Amino acid sequence: MSVWVRIVVACALGYVAVCGVPSLPLQPVSPAASVEVETPGADMQAIVEPVARSIRSLPAGDRLLWAHVWSKAAVVVEGDAVATEVAFTDTRSLRAFTTLALDIAWRRIGENVPGSNEALRTATEAAYVKALGAATVPVTADVRKAYAEFARAMAWAGMNRG
Amino acid sequence: MAFIPLFGYTPDPAGAEAFVASLPHPTLAEAGPGLQAAKHDVSLSELLLQCMPSWKRGSQPIGSCVGWGTAMAVDCLAAADILLRREPEVWGGLCVPGVVYGLSRVEARGQSRNMGGDGSTGFHAAKAIRDFGTLHFGQNYGGTVYASPLSGTQEKALGRDGLPADLEPYAAKHQVAEVTLVRSFEDCAKAISNGYPVFLCSMRGFSMRFADRGSLGGGWLTPAGTWAHCMMACDLRWDRPALLVPNSWGDCYDGPVDERLPKSLQRSAGWVDAEVIDGMCKGGDSYAVAGFSGFAPSLMPEAGWLKGVL
């Protein structure tokens, strides 16, 4: 330890001896360990049930990540076409957004290996098609609403049923 | 504003009367006895813009107004079918006005060629979209794609020779099931309120400068002169009963616009008072359209689309 470092440490200790331990600023609250989502209706619960089943065995952190992705996807889609130029013009663009969101969150950030849970993939694809169909149609307010409802149910499946 | 005001409506009252008499439901009262006019404002142009946010009114290159007015009515009808009636259809692009024009001059008249000058009638256009159908920009018809507005030469050729025989089967897939005469503003209001646009063929002309009506805003068309012209009507308002009537001359109008309208309509369409619409319909060659055979939605894959992600 150099002389200067010793002097700085001595000064710091002297300050504490005279003035006491300085009060430290409060640390920011850690990110929520759960995602608050309302319980979906019975029909939607039935649609996401296979997803819940396939995610149940995953670590809690992954299930939390899953819930976060879907609940945020709901917020994004619900907020489209409010005050800015519409981003999601047809259901093809909605599906592209969903794929990208899962790719970033689940594969890249969550470091989940694609193909490691085939049941989750097939259940997610099937649930999506059941809820939103496979036809390329314009995204209307009703479609946005249906998407948000489905995405929240997917989040609920991860948190509450997974 | 530099534009050439082209018309092209060639009235034929006797022919129109005979055509209307041949219709299964000649008038709106017979086609939709239960139809009621909305008590609120209605905008079918809004539906069109939802289906095609980049929509902008083009300019007829020759005396093909009948094709242009009718084609836009078909466009608004297609949008209403998709968004209002929730029919399982998707937007297939704008209807090609030159094709409607050509069909109305040749096929709808039972001719093989029409060597006459420019122009057509409302009833021939009605017959064209009902019996022969429509083609749309951007669609591939066995290698023929109408990618951009047709030139005057192309529209002239269609008006002279009609639709090439190899394209007729494609047009037949997108017909309008029903056309019916509108005889008054009230008829038009009922039709538009229920998602059925109208095209108006009349001799009514207008000033090219919008009038400002104070609290009602700008964008009002003042009757002036005579136009042998076809336009269409897509929106309805009640604060001062009127219809929004887009023209087919691009952004042609000058003066104070209706700021509440989308930019793409502000200078290409104007509000026409109810009593003026009554007069336009008196010519007996204006029609409401219903039942467009639209485009089936393309399907995305149901499975496998998350491979490589999940």
CA distance B16 to B21: 8
Over the stretch B122-144, which tens digit does the pLDDT of each residue have? 999 999 999 999 999 999 999 99
Of B91, B298, B305, the CB nearest to A125: B305
162 residues of chain A, pLDDT tens digit each: 555 556 655 655 555 565 555 554 444 444 456 788 889 999 999 999 999 999 998 998 999 999 999 999 999 998 876 666 678 888 989 999 999 999 999 999 999 999 999 999 999 999 999 999 998 888 888 999 999 999 999 999 998 765
Tokens of B309: 């992600």
3-class secondary structure, B26:
coil
**B160, B64 Cβ separation under 8 angstroms:** no
Total beta-carbon pairs less than 8 A apart between chain A and chain B: 68
Over the stretch A80-110, which tens digit does the pLDDT of each residue have? 766 666 788 889 899 999 999 999 999 999 9
Nearest chain B alpha carbon to A129: B302
Nearest chain A alpha carbon to B310: A114
**B242, B274 Cβ separation under 8 angstroms:** yes
Domains detected in chain B: 36-292 (3.90.70.10)
Contacts of B56 (CB under 8 A, 6+ apart): B264, B268
Residue B59: exposure state from Cβ atoms within 10 A (0-12, 13-18, ≥19): middle
CA distance B57 to B250: 5
Which helix (H) or strand (E) segment is A58 a member of?
none
CA distance A106 to B114: 65
Over the stretch B111-122, which tens digit does the pLDDT of each residue have? 999 999 999 999
3-class secondary structure, A90:
strand
CB contact under 8 A, A135 and B297: yes
pTM for the model stands at 0.72
Taking phi over 0 as left and psi of -120 to 50 as alpha, with beta for the rest, B284 belongs to: left
Show me where the domains of chain A are located. Answer: 42-161
Interface predicted TM-score of the whole assembly (ipTM), two decimals: 0.77
Task: Supply angle C-alpha B295, B297, B302, rounded to 5.
Answer: 165
CA distance B1 to B267: 11
Please state the φ and ψ torsions of residue B226, each to the nearest 5 degrees: -125, 130
| Selected residues 127-146 of chain A with any CB under 8 Å from a CB in chain B | 129, 134-138, 140
* A117: contact with B, CB 8 A cutoff: yes
For B95-114, b/e burial (b = at least 16 CB within 10 A) is bbbbbbbbbbbbbbbeeeeb
**B123, B285 Cβ separation under 8 angstroms:** yes
